[in-house]
């Protein structure tokens, strides 16, 4: 349709510009008005053509000239025309005309294009004709593209939830014999990168049925009726199969809650209404399972989440240490690992990583090995890739002055010694003064296991560790630098969470939320006096951590000095060497 309109516009433009025009002849010369008066008085005129205020004179000699008459001259002196006629001079009156110029053709062309575009838009909005939309179709019958449950790791509970759908698609008669019906929809909920799309593909792979996939943004258009038409087309194509799976990624783009006073989302609401009808309406959907993924379930419409549409909601969260190890083994199939690589150790050192992060880690390790022309990935490559993902890329090109290196060394030594000695802290992994990312130095800790909740002692230890760098700067260098700004910000955030969210202060077990949003979030609103008390409690939490860090730094001066001096030489020190230095310089 768009091509047809474009061709029509081209034809009109070409026709307009291609209209044959009469060859232009030179215009007669313009002479003074006095010559007209003299020629009329001497009977030297053969004809006079009046064109507005312009007179075209033909002399008896055959010469043609033009004369510009004064304004309203012929109106006030109409007798002269009578005298000319009596003298046998032919008098003609012409309509004023102007020759078309190139600008007129340009404006005509623009007008034609505008009218064509406007008409096409009206046609789209009124008739409902939409551009071709074909959802992605993946036939899972071939083993080359087939994804199975064995290819999905770290989501055992989620696989158990969706396994019933696979069994029903394989043997529908077994469930139908007892009156059971297949779930019409499964909503996969989880953070980005946890494998929701891969899990949906594995459902189709295990059931060996066609897999139709689309994105929520595919149904969002500015033209009325486009999204609803695409939803109908998607389900129409799905009904051609005896059984299939429809996967809609990022369904929150089209499934947001309806309501509000604005009419700007009317088209999106029509699309959502069509999706609701297709999932549980009058049209039969036997054998069609809709699988959707989102990381924003809180904004989805309630009608979309009710039983009969998305009957089952499956949470796909970040994997634990066992799940991370399984994911690493799956991705490690594509690379050659050295004998010294311990995937269990790597999994333990990557808490909070999702499947996409772990795949990126394996890829980074392979790239590091290939960069150094090695044929297998070593344990050092895995550690370097993990540090790169966690701490950023090393910026060895950044030249630091001797004073900045010394300041950074003592700052990081303060963090490290406090982390090594304060109870309840995570074990140290590495301390470096090599700039990484936006930081000039880093102290990295690796937890021994996954943490799902935090104790008050652990949070206070984290604040003390963050304050260790500032305390070392003050005691050893007698100065304060801006390098502790991020530490102070993070410590304040932890203290604020302890007071306002976790109830770990003398303010009591209440959730405090500033402003009018407090009631919407279930927290208590704060007056000015109460806000002042909250600020005082936050200050007390941070200062307790600062005092604890300062006490450790004062009593372990020798350990901090030895650690800073060694770091100026080696730049990076691992956790075992740090513990050795701290034990050798015990108070």
Strand order in the sheet with 54-59: 64-68, 54-59, 45-51, 90-94
The secondary structure of residue 227, as a DSSP letter, is H
> CB within 8 A of 229, min separation 6: which ones?
128, 130
CB 358 within 8 A of CB 350: yes
Q: Does the pLDDT of residue 521 top 50, yes or no?
A: no
Query: Would you call 267 a catalytic residue per the annotation?
Result: no
Using CA atoms, how far residue 164 sits from 141, 158, 185, in Å, is 20, 11, 12
Half-sphere exposure of 436 (CA within 13 A, CB side): 21
Q: pLDDT at position 19, please? A: 47
The tally of domains found in the chain comes to 4
Task: Check residue 540 and report its DSSP letter.
Answer: H
Nearest 5 degrees, angle CA 91-CA 94-CA 98?
145
**Residues 540, 565 share a domain:** yes
Q: Does the pLDDT value for residue 264 go beyond 80? A: no
Does 540 score more than 90 pLDDT?
yes
**502 domain-assigned:** yes
How big is the chain, counted in residues?
587
Are residues 434 and 306 part of one domain? no
Domain boundary among 370, 391, 412: 391
State the DSSP code for 25: P
Q: Residues 156, 41: one domain?
A: no
Looking at per-residue confidence, does 133 or 32 come out higher?
32
372 and 493 assigned to the same domain: no
Does residue 302 belong to any structural domain of this protein?
yes
For the chain, give the mean pLDDT: 78
CA atoms within 13 A on the CB side of 381: 26
- Of 129, 146, 170, the residue that ends a domain is 129
Whether 396 is in a domain gets the answer no
> Which of 412, 460, 473, 537 is flagged as catalytic?
412
* Angle made by CA atoms 326, 329, 331, in degrees to the nearest 5: 110
Q: Are 357 and 324 in contact (CB under 8 A)?
A: no
Distance from C-alpha of 48 to C-alpha of 53, rounded to nearest angstrom: 12
Residue-wise DSSP of 321-361:
HHHHHHHHHHHGGGS-B-TT--HHHHHHT-TT--HHHHHHH
Q: Same structural domain for residues 458 and 488?
A: yes
**Per-residue pLDDT at 100:** 56
Domain range enclosing 523:
402-584
* SS3 label, residue 374: coil
pLDDT tens sequence across 322-364: 888 899 999 888 888 888 888 888 888 888 888 888 999 999 9
Picking from 357, 391, 425, the residue at the C-terminal end of a domain is: 391
286-322 pLDDT tens trace? 778 888 999 888 888 888 888 888 888 888 888 888 8
Element (H, E) at 574: strand 572-574
Residues 410 and 476 in one domain: yes
Taking a C-beta distance cutoff of 8 angstroms, is the pair 30, 68 a contact? yes
For residue 462, being part of any structural domain is answered with yes
The CATH code of the domain that includes 329 is: 1.10.8.60
* Residues 57, 63, 68, 69, Cα dihedral to 10°: -30
397 domain-assigned: no
Residue percentage of the chain with pLDDT more than 70: 80
The predicted-structure confidence for 545-555, as pLDDT tens digits, reads as follows 999 999 998 98
Question: For 372-393, what is each residue's pLDDT tens digit?
Answer: 888 899 988 888 888 788 777 7
Is pLDDT at 64 greater than 80 in this prediction? Answer: yes
- Angstrom distance (rounded) from CA 405 to CA 399: 10
d(CA 36, CA 39): 5
Predicted TM-score (pTM) of this structure: 0.65
Does residue 522 belong to any structural domain of this protein?
Answer: yes
**pLDDT reading at 188 higher than 80:** yes
pLDDT for 492 equals 94
Q: Report residue 231 as tokens.
A: 């939803």
Cβ burial of 544 (10 Å; 0-12, 13-18, 19+) is middle
Predicted pLDDT of residue 520: 40
Q: Please report the pLDDT score of residue 531 as a whole number.
A: 86
Report, as an integer, the average pLDDT of 212-218: 81
In a domain, 335, yes or no: yes
Task: Identify any residues that bridge with 93 across adjacent strands, giving them in sequence order.
Answer: 50
* 557 and 428 part of one domain: yes
Q: Is residue 145 situated within a structural domain? A: yes
Element housing 471 (H / E):
helix 456-472
Same domain, 153 and 276: yes
Q: Looking at the structure, do residues 98 and 167 belong to the same domain, yes or no? A: no
What's the CATH number where 447 sits?
Answer: 1.20.58.760
In this structure, what token pair is assigned to residue 238?
């799905």
- 8 and 150 share a domain? no
CB atoms inside a 10 Å sphere around CB 288: 23
Q: Report the distance separating Cα 470 and Cα 118, nearest Å.
A: 66
pLDDT at residue number 545: 92
Q: What is the mean pLDDT of residues 131-143?
A: 47
CA 276/CA 305 separation, integer angstroms: 10
Q: Are residues 325 and 308 in the same domain?
A: no
Residues 102 and 204 in one domain: no
Residue found under tokens 């009046």: 50
């Amino acid at each position: 349709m768009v091509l047809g309109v474009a061709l029509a516009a081209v034809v009109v433009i070409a026709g307009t510009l291609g209209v044959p025009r009469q060859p232009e002849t030179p215009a007669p010369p313009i002479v003074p008005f006095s010559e007209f008066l003299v020629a009329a008085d001497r009977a030297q005129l053969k004809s006079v053509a009046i064109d507005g205020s312009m007179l075209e004179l033909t002399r008896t000699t055959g010469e043609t000239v033009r004369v510009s008459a004064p304004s309203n001259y012929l109106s006030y002196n109409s007798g002269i025309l009578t005298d000319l006629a009596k003298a046998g001079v032919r008098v003609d009156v012409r309509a004023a005309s102007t020759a078309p110029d190139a600008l007129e053709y340009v404006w005509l062309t623009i007008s034609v294009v505008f009218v064509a575009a406007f008409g096409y838009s009206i046609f789209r909005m009124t008739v409902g004709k939409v551009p071709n939309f074909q959802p992605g179709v993946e036939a899972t019958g071939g083993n080359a593209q087939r994804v199975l449950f064995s290819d999905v790791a770290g989501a055992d509970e989620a696989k158990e939830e969706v396994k019933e759908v696979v069994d029903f698609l394989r043997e529908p008669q077994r469930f139908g014999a007892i009156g059971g019906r297949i779930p019409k929809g499964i909503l996969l909920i989880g953070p980005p990168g946890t494998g929701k799309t891969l899990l949906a593909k594995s459902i189709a792979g295990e059931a060996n049925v066609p897999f139709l996939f689309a994105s929520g943004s595919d149904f969002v258009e500015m033209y009325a009726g486009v999204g609803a038409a695409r939803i109908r087309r998607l389900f129409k194509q799905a009904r051609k199969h005896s059984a299939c799976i429809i996967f809609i990624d990022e369904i929150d783009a089209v499934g947001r809650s309806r309501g509000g006073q604005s009419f700007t989302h009317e088209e999106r609401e029509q699309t959502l209404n069509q999706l609701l009808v297709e999932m549980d309406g009058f049209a039969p959907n036997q054998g069609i399972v809709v699988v959707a993924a989102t990381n924003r379930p809180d904004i989805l419409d309630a009608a979309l989440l009710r039983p009969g549409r998305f009957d089952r909601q499956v949470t796909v969260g970040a994997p634990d240490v066992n799940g991370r190890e399984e994911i690493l083994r799956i991705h490690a199939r594509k690379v050659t690992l050295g004998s010294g690589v311990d995937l269990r150790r790597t999994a333990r050192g990557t808490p909070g990583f999702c499947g996409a992060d772990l795949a990126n880690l394996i890829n980074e390790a392979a790239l590091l090995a290939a960069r150094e022309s090695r044929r297998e990935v070593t344990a050092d490559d895995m550690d370097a890739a993990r540090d790169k993902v966690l701490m950023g890329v090393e910026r060895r090109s950044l030249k630091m002055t001797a004073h900045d290196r010394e300041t950074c060394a003592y700052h990081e030594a303060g963090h490290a010694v406090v982390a090594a000695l304060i109870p309840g802290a995570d074990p140290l992994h590495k301390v470096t003064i090599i700039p990484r990312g936006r930081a000039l130095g880093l102290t990295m800790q690796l937890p021994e296991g996954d943490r799902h909740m935090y104790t008050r002692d652990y949070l206070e230890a984290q604040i003390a560790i963050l304050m260790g760098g500032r305390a070392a700067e003050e005691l050893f260098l007698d100065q304060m630098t801006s390098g502790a700004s991020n530490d102070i910000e993070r410590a304040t955030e932890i203290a604020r969470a302890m007071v306002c969210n976790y109830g770990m202060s003398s303010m009591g077990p209440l959730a405090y939320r500033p402003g009018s949003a407090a009631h919407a979030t279930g927290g208590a609103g704060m007056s000015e006096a109460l806000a002042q008390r909250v600020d005082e409690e936050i200050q007390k939490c941070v200062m307790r951590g600062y005092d604890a860090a300062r006490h450790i730094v004062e009593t372990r001066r020798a350990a901090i000095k030895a650690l800073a001096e060694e770091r100026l030489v080696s730049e990076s020190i691992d956790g075992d060497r740090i513990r050795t230095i701290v034990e050798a310089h015990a108070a």
